[in-house]
Amino acid sequence: MIKRNSFKSLLLATALSVTTVGSVAAAADFTGTVLEGSERYALEGAIVEIRSEGLRTTTDTDGRFRFRGLAAGTYEVNISYVGTKPVTRTITVGEENVSQMFIFGQDDLEEIVVTGLRGSMNSSLNKQRAADNIANYLSADAAGNFPDQNIAEAARRLVGLSMETDQGEGRFVIVRGIDPNLNSTNINGVSLPSPEGDERKVALDVIPSELLETMQVTKSATPDMDGDFIGGNIDVKTISGFDKDKRLIKLKAEGSYNKLQDKLSPKLSATYADQLSEKVAIAASVSWQERKHGADNKEVDGGWKDSDDADNEIGELYPAEMELRDYAVTRERFGAALNIDFRPSDDTNLYLRSLYSSFKDTELRQRTEVKFEDGEFADGADEVGPEIYFLEAKADRDLKDRIETQKIISTVLGGETFLDNWSFEYSVAYAHSEEREPDRLDTDFKSDERVNVGVDISDPLLPFGIFASDADRALFTDPGNYELDSMEYSDNITEDDEWAFKLDVRRDLEIGGNQGYIKFGGKYKTREKNRDNTFLVYEDLGDFTMADFLTDVDYGLDGTQGGIGADNQALRDHYFANVGSFELQEDDTTLGSEALDYTANEDIIAGYLMGSVDVDNLRVVAGVRVEHTDYDATANEVIVGDEFSVTEVAGENSYTDWLPSINLRYDFDGSNAVLRAAYYKSVVRPKIGDMVPSGAIESEDDDGEIIREGELGNPNLDPYRAHNFDLGIEWYPNNDSIVSAGFFHKEIKNFHFDQVFEDTTLNGIEFAEVVQPQNGEDATVTGIELNYQQTLSMLPAPFDGIIVGANYTYTDSEGQYLNGDGDLVDVPLPKTSEHVANGIVGYEKDGFSLRAALSYRSEYLDEVNEGDGDRYVLGRTLLDVTASYEVTENVKIYGEVSNLTNEKWTAVYRTEDGDRMMQYDEFDMTINFGVKAKF
């Protein structure tokens, strides 16, 4: 184990060695700021060069740049920014520091567009062009140009990115088709812990898109970054007062209409940024939304069954159980960001970055379960083709009534200090995330009298229920036939806290006559995650039926449902008034309350050494990072059934990883082309839920022999380790366009999967069957990324306002896992689509803007199943349209339509006889309309 004192000694030794590499005689510093014509917006990503000295830098988020240690003399300064022509200015440096402002649109510099779709494209392209590694960027204006509800939905517009959805909304960002658990997520450079109970992935639907100033998606690491991503690092940056050179006030009011639920929802946001003085700036953003929407859903549980008794024209498969689900969802988002910057001198910048975001998800789910496999085939079932009838099948109806809240808090206090040719960056950060599910109530009603019901499987992707007679329908839809069977009460909380301490030291110098720098530093992160579940299961609830709690349900997918459901408030009143007389079901209560609880601790200490050198047009950034991980956790091993015990168990693990990386960038003279190549090694730690040493075990005494089945965690899991390779070229043919192509390849070690063991002993317990996460064989991901964006300003008016763009990603992945027979099976990596594409066509001119955006994601493997066929999610194409008009210089009205074509979401069992429905959702379109003001 690496001790802290040893790490300090390593940094000291590194610092001493750096001073012997080279030096530059200090004279004076030249600093500058690049702004657009109104002096309101700073231009980040502008490339600033003093070519006679071989010096090159880029402007930061404040539009500022700095050249240090210039000898007295006269220099030509070249500035280039995508969206305008390059410019050259002459400056004179003496013994004192020199500062100058460059304003496009003034001082004979060409005016530049910084707002709207064109301005946001230019901003993103400049940051990408200036980066030393492979990265893509999304600006605040870009996120506002489309009807995106949250940051996850905004991110899918970038090349290589897609999203995982929940209830029709974007939730997790997928980079290059790779599982979101293999991404890392930051807010203002601070890594975010996950509010999810078992996961590392961070749900970005928690954060409103209005809080975004810039999103950076990094696809190749440098040694000064955490080495904990294989897909990408997603860094969401909020606004700073120094980003704007003048006071900025932005207001937004929006209404949203969901066609499926036929309801209106409000949304409000405001942003304020101001430089209170030359030394102090402040920025604040706030956003609130209450969105009412939902889904009509149909699912198959238990797979599709094979029966010789049900021979029909499309095969011998029928759904074991069909579920009809109606969702009514209200999601409330509130987010606030406060950033303060203080510059006590020209050589020191201090800052406070803070963000608070909460997400309240209220969900009522009415479910009807038709259990065909519990019935018997009706006579003649093999003669009616796709219609199969069952006698005395079972039916259940239930209600899920829950409110889930997620919160993310991020605060970082840091700064940067310049001292001659040295710079020091330092920060202390705290992040907190939590998920609460208070007072959840699940109520189940079971049919008292078995029902006769059938299923029409003429369309195996959308089967529907049928009845042989009106009497059968009347019994199935009679609320008095469904007895109150059980009530489950839950009160769950997960909390995740992380502290991080970071120091980076850089020295600018000449290396072999070439400009460059050496950089080294260290970071310490300590994290604690706790999960505490309360789960109470009650039975023997008295002589009540659904008729005592009846309400209407508007469900449009299947007439079998009958339009009946249970009223949530009536059930809550009944539960709290009578819970003292209910009978507690001990086994299920113990499993739900004890087996999921845990406390996990993770400490990571890291150090790195890197350097950069410019050799003519080639820039090399290379180095190595070392990360040491200590992990320990306590949980419960629970056995219920004919045996009963709750035992606290502990587990731990530790490992050290050396993570080399190199990023190469070559700028071609006169062609505006950039060639990039990169390699980095990364380590991604297992999901928390897989590592905790918990156990959920059920036992049964079979004539004196104890039969045990269960699930176990595995604290000895090795982390994912990956070698990542990238090669790409970018061409900027004119002022506001890009054509790029890239190749990537990833070799992933220790691929994780759930393995089923039979007749084995684990943790000293004999099992007939047990499931435990294991490290698998190798996995590979290979792909290409293509991107094109352009404003067709060369066309004659009025066509010079046309904007077009398209990107495409192809991904080929393969992993191996052991199936139930112990054989190695090759499968695509879960969540990985072969094809992801986005396209936009827009028009902006004279205050009017119109945009259409298309997003496509091909099918992907979602889950590997034993026996019933693997679960695949079918491909999906979304079309969104946005229009806006500037009523005045400061006020804009707009309208948006998302999911214009009412694209469905479908998951299937992939069987030898073809695809069969597993899940089908309809969300319908959403229409947004509102007004934006900017002062």
Q: What average pLDDT does the chain have? A: 88
Q: Say what percent of the chain tops pLDDT 70.
A: 92
Check pLDDT > 70 for residue 111.
no
Q: What is the dihedral of CA 727, 732, 733, 739, to 10 degrees?
A: 50
Q: From CA 291, how far away is CA 293, in angstroms rounded?
A: 6
The pLDDT, as a whole number, for residue 823 is 73
Q: In this predicted model, what pLDDT tens digit does every residue of 779-818 receive, in sequence order?
A: 999 999 999 999 898 899 999 899 999 999 999 998 877 6
| Element holding 871 (H helix, E strand) | strand 870-873
Q: Is the peptide bond before 798 cis (omega within 30 degrees of 0)?
A: yes
Q: In this predicted model, what pLDDT tens digit does every residue of 280-304 receive, in sequence order?
A: 999 999 999 999 888 899 999 988 8
Q: In this predicted model, what pLDDT tens digit does every residue of 507-555 receive, in sequence order?
A: 999 888 888 999 999 999 999 999 999 999 999 999 999 999 999 999 9
The pLDDT, as a whole number, for residue 8 is 42
Q: In this predicted model, what pLDDT tens digit does every residue of 557-604 receive, in sequence order?
A: 888 899 999 999 999 999 999 999 999 999 999 999 999 999 999 999
Q: In this predicted model, what pLDDT tens digit does every residue of 852-890 receive, in sequence order?
A: 999 999 999 988 876 667 899 999 999 999 999 999 989
Q: From CA 162, how far away is CA 652, in angstroms rounded?
A: 35
Q: Which residue has the higher pLDDT, 313 or 655?
A: 655
Q: Taking the CB of residue 558, how many other CB atoms lie within 10 A of it?
A: 18
Q: Taking the CB of residue 373, how many other CB atoms lie within 10 A of it?
A: 16
Q: Is the peptide bond before 266 cis (omega within 30 degrees of 0)?
A: no
Q: From CA 412, how far away is CA 585, in angstroms rounded?
A: 47
CB of 774 closer than 8 Å to CB of 752: yes
Q: From CA 196, how far away is CA 687, in angstroms rounded?
A: 10
Phi, then psi, of 797 in degrees rounded to 5:
-65, 145
Q: Which two tokens stand for residue 348?
A: 């020191």
Q: In this predicted model, what pLDDT tens digit does every residue of 694-736 receive, in sequence order?
A: 999 999 998 888 999 999 999 999 999 999 999 999 999 877 7
Q: Which residue has the higher pLDDT, 143 or 498?
A: 498
Q: Which two tokens stand for residue 657?
A: 């990883």
* pLDDT class of 2 with cuts at 50, 70, 90: very low
Instruction: Tell me what the mean pLDDT of segment 672-681 comes to.
Output: 96
Check pLDDT > 50 for residue 20.
no
- What does the chain come to in residues? 935
Q: Which residue has the higher pLDDT, 600 or 120?
A: 600
Check pLDDT > 60 for residue 56.
yes
Q: Which two tokens stand for residue 103?
A: 């304003």
Q: From CA 551, how far away is CA 568, in angstroms rounded?
A: 9
* pLDDT class of 672 with cuts at 50, 70, 90: confident
Domains and CATH numbers, the chain: 1-111 (2.60.40.10), 241-609+616-934 (2.40.170.20)
Q: In this predicted model, what pLDDT tens digit does every residue of 237-256 receive, in sequence order?
A: 998 888 877 888 999 999 99
Instruction: Tell me what the mean pLDDT of segment 27-47 comes to.
Output: 80
Instruction: Tell me what the mean pLDDT of segment 353-358 comes to.
Output: 94
Check pLDDT > 90 for residue 395.
yes
Q: Which two tokens stand for residue 517?
A: 């720098």
Q: Which two tokens stand for residue 583?
A: 């009978």
Q: How many helices (H) and strands (E) does the chain have?
A: 8, 51
Alpha helices (H) in 640-762, listed in sequence order? 688-691
* pLDDT class of 451 with cuts at 50, 70, 90: very high
Q: In this predicted model, what pLDDT tens digit does every residue of 126-142 receive, in sequence order?
A: 889 889 999 999 887 65
Q: What is the dihedral of CA 176, 177, 178, 183, to 10 degrees?
A: 50
Instruction: Tell me what the mean pLDDT of segment 141-157 comes to.
Output: 72
Check pLDDT > 70 for residue 766.
yes
